[in-house]
């Protein structure tokens, strides 16, 4: 299945992209993050939350459909 991965703020800076598509099997959020950290070592020390289809999820959440995954660094609104 194909996921859309979105990067924001300092994470977009670290990966040098805003968005990409990724082919993957069913996996947990933590497995996906591990894969992304291998691809982008600068993510390793980054602090971020994960949203799937605009809802925050925890690391054990299983990704089993073609969703939009967003990596969100600390919020700074206001």
Residue 69 class from Cβ within 10 Å (0-12 exposed, 13-18 middle, 19+ buried)?
Answer: buried
Q: Which of 16, 45, 54, 60 binds other proteins (CB under 8 A)?
A: 54
Is there binding between residue 52 and other proteins (CB under 8 A)? no
Provide the token pair at 70: 């967003």
Q: How far is CA 5 from CA 2, 9, 16, 77, 78, in A?
A: 10, 14, 13, 22, 26
Nearest distance from C-beta of residue 78 to other proteins, angstroms:
4
Q: Which of 10, 22, 27, 33 binds other proteins (CB under 8 A)?
A: 10
At 8, give phi and psi (nearest 5°).
Answer: -130, 155
Q: Which of 4, 8, 22, 31 binds other proteins (CB under 8 A)?
A: 8
Nearest distance from C-beta of residue 25 to other proteins, angstroms:
26
Binding residues for other proteins (CB under 8 A): 6, 8-10, 12, 51, 54, 70, 72-78
């Amino acid at each position: 299945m194909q996921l859309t991965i979105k990067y924001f703020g300092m994470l977009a800076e670290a990966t040098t992209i805003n968005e990409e598509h990724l082919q993957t099997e069913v996996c947990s959020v933590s497995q996906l993050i591990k894969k992304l950290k291998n691809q982008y070592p600068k993510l390793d020390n980054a602090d971020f939350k994960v949203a799937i289809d605009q809802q925050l999820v925890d690391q054990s959440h299983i990704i089993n459909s073609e969703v939009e995954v967003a990596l969100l660094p600390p919020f700074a609104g206001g």
